[in-house]
């Protein structure tokens, strides 16, 4: 073994321990948000802080830098997507990004987010933007300082975007989002006038939680869930967590009087879980054993929640057991009625409750406002007014107060600026991938109607999941669809769905 090879082997061991600590951090957070006794909170915060500090210390240590330098020759000449070249490339990137941010700034960011969170909760509750304003101003200031730690980019926003989707630029996102908005606005306006043609009242009623859980489990077991390597637990805000490739923990929230929420949240989180569970075991205990980007991750959750879960063939298969699980609520209801109900489209105020069609406009709005705030083109104090005007313009509705408007999301309170785009990019990529999957697997929908989802899962696993962080969003799209981001597949998908539910829109609406 030569020096570089030995350094690579040491680097692998060093990173394996950091990855163990990362997984442990996920377990602590999962436990905190599902089953921890309430009074355990104070101690848990200390445990998490210690772990975060340790992970940061180890990643940014001189040792990491030295091993990266010494191991570099070992990966030279190896393929871009080899384990060796990828481990060094991805770790070098993580290392350099982490080293650029002074501990003092990182601490200040963590402290401000912890302070701002309860203030945001109160401000939202009281619909009082002025209460939140000073925290938003401070968050923007810290983000500007954060951005200043890095080489100047084409747009300052690029630096933030890069944290969630490596290599993705503001210009690229702005381009597809503009197309998306342009395509969606007339369609939304047309649907708004006839939204009531679809009745989703049947999703409200009495749906006992135990039965909801049983039905949701039966669904995701067909998707790939198994008790051998997964869990499903209740929580307040659903999420998926990978404690290991073979220890996937989904969380969800069932509402006894509204069956929609728990079922679709479970399918959504299952999509995230399938990604983490599908990573090549050879990447285990390395920083490559995670999803490639938040946008790719979201493409997976949206595939299973929307493209599969809101499809006709899905309900062809599952409607009979759905009816048998909820015989009273489903009395006199047929498959078609359920299919229409779970797809009802109507402009609404709250992003997380929005339908597939209008959802993306909520994101484009946030993406553009974030850039304007960072650039100083919109002053934080002007935000409610700008927000409301934009809601009127895009969706034809206006929030009655800021609690249902600009204050609705937690992201800005905890410093997550640049994160929102990943949600719409996920929808967009899911549609791009699905057109390719349909071309590769022509009888996909017939399989779903027969309750078979293995081919679709396998397609995603072999094209996306197994690569972990070896390939970026761009790499994956280039390999799978032979190009970059495109809004067209999503627009095609949504136009089809609109036609199916509300009839053919006029040419002016389908611009």
- By annotation, the residues acting in catalysis are 269
Hey, how many other C-beta atoms are within 10 angstroms of the C-beta on 365? 21
Phi-psi domain of 503 (left: phi exceeds 0; alpha: psi -120 through 50; beta: other):
left
- The first and second tokens of residue 389, run together, are 């005007």
Q: Which stretch binds a copy of itself (CB under 8 A): 41-49, 67-75, 149-157, 408-416?
A: 41-49
Nearer to a copy of itself, 246 or 504 (CB): 246
Q: CB-based contacts of 395: which residues, under 8 Å, 6+ apart?
A: 188, 192, 347, 348, 358, 361
Nearer to a copy of itself, 37 or 503 (CB): 37
Alpha-helical runs (H) found in 396-420: none
Token look-up 């381009």 returns 175
Shortest distance, position 243 Cβ to a copy of itself, whole Å: 6
247 class by beta-carbon count within 10 Å (0-12 exposed, 13-18 middle, 19+ buried):
middle
Q: Can you name the residues that pair with 232 across neighbouring β-strands?
A: 250
Binding mask 269-288 for a copy of itself (x = CB under 8 A): ---------------xx---
Which helix (DSSP H) or strand (DSSP E) does residue 249 occupy?
Answer: strand 247-252
Shortest distance, position 57 Cβ to a copy of itself, whole Å: 11
Map residue 248 onto helix, strand or coil.
Answer: strand
Please select the residue that binds a copy of itself; options are 23, 340, 366, 469, rule is CB under 8 A: 23
Residues 323 to 352: which contact a copy of itself by CB under 8 A?
A: none
Strands of the sheet with 247-252, listed across from one edge: 230-234, 247-252, 240-244
Shortest distance, position 229 Cβ to a copy of itself, whole Å: 4
Q: Is the dihedral of CA 209, 214, 215, 217 positive or negative?
A: positive
Hey, how many other C-beta atoms are within 10 angstroms of the C-beta on 502? 18
Shortest distance, position 241 Cβ to a copy of itself, whole Å: 12
Site membership for a copy of itself, residue 110 (CB under 8 A): no
Alpha-helical runs (H) found in 257-353: 259-277, 294-302, 312-325, 335-341
Shortest distance, position 55 Cβ to a copy of itself, whole Å: 11
Please select the residue that binds a copy of itself; options are 1, 2, 38, 196, rule is CB under 8 A: 38
Shortest distance, position 16 Cβ to a copy of itself, whole Å: 8
Q: Which stretch binds a copy of itself (CB under 8 A): 45-53, 327-335, 349-357, 385-393?
A: 45-53
Q: Which stretch binds a copy of itself (CB under 8 A): 23-31, 111-119, 327-335, 493-501?
A: 23-31
Nearer to a copy of itself, 58 or 100 (CB): 58
Shortest distance, position 275 Cβ to a copy of itself, whole Å: 17
What's the per-residue H, E or C state across 183-222?
HHHHHHHHHHCCHHHCCCHHHECCCCHHHHHHHHHHHHHH
Q: Which stretch binds a copy of itself (CB under 8 A): 156-164, 223-231, 251-259, 327-335?
A: 223-231
Which helix (DSSP H) or strand (DSSP E) does residue 230 occupy?
Answer: strand 230-234
- Residue 15's Cβ-side half-sphere holds a number of Cα atoms within 13 Å equal to 25
Site membership for a copy of itself, residue 228 (CB under 8 A): yes
Nearer to a copy of itself, 249 or 297 (CB): 249
Site membership for a copy of itself, residue 227 (CB under 8 A): yes
Site membership for a copy of itself, residue 478 (CB under 8 A): no
Interface residues with a copy of itself (CB under 8 A) are: 16-17, 20-21, 23-24, 27-28, 31, 35-40, 42-44, 46-47, 50-51, 53-54, 227-231, 243-248, 284-285
């Amino acid at each position: 073994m030569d020096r570089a090879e030995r350094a690579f082997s040491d680097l692998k061991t060093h990173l394996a321990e950091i990855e163990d600590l990362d997984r442990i951090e996920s377990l602590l957070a999962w436990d905190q948000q599902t089953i921890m006794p309430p009074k355990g909170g104070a101690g848990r915060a200390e445990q998490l802080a210690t772990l975060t500090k340790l992970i940061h210390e180890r990643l940014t240590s001189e040792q990491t830098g030295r091993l990266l330098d010494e191991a570099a020759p070992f990966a030279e000449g190896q393929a871009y997507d080899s384990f060796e070249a990828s481990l060094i490339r991805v770790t070098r990137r993580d290392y350099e990004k982490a080293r650029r941010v002074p501990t003092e700034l990182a601490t200040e960011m963590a402290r401000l987010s912890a302070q701002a969170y309860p203030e945001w909760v109160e401000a939202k509750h009281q619909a009082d933007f002025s209460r939140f304003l000073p925290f938003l101003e401070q968050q923007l200031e810290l983000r500007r300082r954060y951005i200043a730690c890095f080489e100047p980019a084409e747009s300052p926003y690029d630096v933030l975007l890069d944290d969630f989707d490596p290599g993705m630029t503001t210009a690229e996102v702005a381009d597809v989002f503009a197309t998306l908005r342009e395509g969606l606005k007339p369609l939304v306006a047309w649907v708004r006038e006839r939204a009531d043609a679809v009745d989703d009242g049947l999703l409200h009623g009495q749906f006992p939680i135990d039965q909801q859980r049983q039905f949701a489990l039966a669904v995701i077991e067909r998707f790939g869930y198994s008790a051998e390597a997964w869990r499903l637990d209740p929580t307040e805000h659903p999420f998926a967590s990978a404690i290991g490739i073979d220890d996937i923990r989904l969380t969800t929230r069932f509402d006894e009087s509204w069956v929609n929420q728990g079922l679709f949240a479970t399918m959504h989180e299952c999509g995230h879980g399938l990604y983490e569970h599908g990573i090549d075991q050879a990447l285990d205990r390395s920083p490559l054993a995670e999803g490639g980007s938040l946008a790719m991750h979201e493409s997976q959750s949206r595939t299973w929640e929307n493209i599969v879960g809101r499809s006709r063939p899905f309900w062809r298969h599952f409607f009979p057991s759905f009816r048998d699980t909820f015989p009273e609520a489903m009395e006199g209801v047929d498959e078609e009625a359920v299919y229409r109900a779970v797809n009802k489209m109507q402009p609404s105020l709250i992003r997380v409750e929005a339908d597939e069609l209008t959802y993306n406009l909520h994101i484009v709005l946030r993406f553009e406002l974030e850039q304007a705030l960072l650039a100083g083109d919109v002053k934080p104090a002007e935000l409610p007014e700008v927000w409301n005007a934009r809601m009127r313009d895009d969706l034809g509705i206006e929030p009655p107060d800021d609690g249902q408007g600009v204050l609705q999301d937690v992201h800005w309170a905890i410093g997550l600026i640049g994160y929102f785009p990943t949600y719409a990019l996920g929808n967009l990529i899911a549609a791009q991938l699905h057109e390719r999957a349909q071309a590769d697997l022509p009888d996909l929908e017939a399989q779903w109607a027969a309750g078979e989802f293995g081919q679709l899962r396998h397609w995603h696993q072999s094209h996306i999941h197994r690569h972990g962080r070896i390939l970026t969003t761009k790499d994956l799209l280039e390999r799978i669809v032979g190009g970059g981001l495109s809004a067209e597949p999503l627009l095609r998908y949504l136009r089809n769905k609109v036609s199916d539910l509300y009839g053919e829109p006029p040419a002016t609406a389908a611009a």
